[in-house]
Amino acid sequence: MGNKRVLVTGGAGFIGSHLCKRLLAEGQHVVCLDNYFTGSESNISSLLSNPCFELVRHDVTVPYYFEVDEIYNLACPASPVHYQYDSIHTIKTSVLGMINALDLACHLRAKVLQASTSEVYGDPLVHPQREDYWGNVNPIGIRSCYDEGKRCAETLCFDYFRRHDVDVKVIRIFNTYGPNMHSKDGRVVSNFIVQALKGEDITIYGDGRQTRSFCYVDDLVAGMISMMQTEKGFIGPVNLGNPGEFTILDLAEKVIGLTRSVSKIVFKTLPLDDPKQRQPNISRATRRLGWVPEICLAEGLERTIDYFKKVLV
């Protein structure tokens, strides 16, 4: 397992920074590629003194070349606030970024793992979501730049395998949370925690009965690394998420309780195409990777709250 050179695109982002840290701890040499659109050097500042860590500022829509054994392709804004800011560049990041990663993997005969998303299922008509479900996605909505960009990236992975025998792996990430989340990324966990710590109203969009499943970032990273280690030919896709299902109102009440906040809950209009249910079926991950998430929501929220207490001062 040790002594590999591993490229992590989006490595200074929320999930990427945790992945870089874990790979270094396992003895890998890590090349972190990021353009800092949503990532931050502060997320990986503790890694900069490690001689096995390289940091490169670069946009994945532009081809790049590094001698590596494995590529984790995480580069893409992943929250609606950020991916809708420049929707065309979001599509380019998903599609051109995937092509550039696959071309490099093809040239080097390297493994490449694509961080896809549960958003490929859209507003699902099947619950919980299994990997063989094709989804219910609006191709022309305000979320489409992300949803369809990631769907196209999956298509590219399978076509590069069929056409060029590239060793590809596809995971679909469900809601993930933990330290290094951006305080203004518009995601529900970070939104609620920041609002609660500041004593502001906690804003719920819709009636709060829509559901989500929340996976702590350390569990996700363990699943990603396990997927990368699977045999060639096993592409996936594989759902990675915590199957525990909570309503948004449940989450808000948990955050208020854990922060001992005086915040009040207020309700606003639900955005267009916002999915009403999101819960992964993880039987494939459990069967093929031996993976199950271990950190419960209360414990993960406490760790995340501690992080935001430090960065918000």
In terms of Cα–Cα distance, which of 70, 44, 72 is closest to 57? Answer: 44
Strand partners, 122: 136
Written as six digits, the tokens of 6 are 């591993």
Buried b (16+ CB within 10 A) or exposed e, 156-184: bbeebbeeeebbbbbbbbbbbbbbbbbee
Residue carrying the six token digits 């559901």: 211
Q: Does the annotation count 177 as an active-site position?
A: no
Q: Which of 121, 146, 160, 177 is catalytic?
A: 146
Task: Give bridge partners of residue 254 from the DSSP assignment.
Answer: none
Residue 30 CA: distances (Å) to CA of 13, 72, 219:
14, 11, 20
**Secondary structure letter of residue 280 according to DSSP:** B
Query: Among residues 40, 72, 27, 83, which one has the least CA distance to residue 227?
Result: 72
Q: How do strand 211-213 and strand 245-247 relate by DSSP bridges? A: antiparallel
Q: How far apart are CA 24 and CA 28, in angstroms?
A: 5
CA distances from 73 to 60, 78, 95, 165, 249 (A): 9, 13, 11, 18, 33
Question: What totals of helices (H) and strands (E) does the chain contain, helices first?
Answer: 10, 13
- Active-site residue list: 146
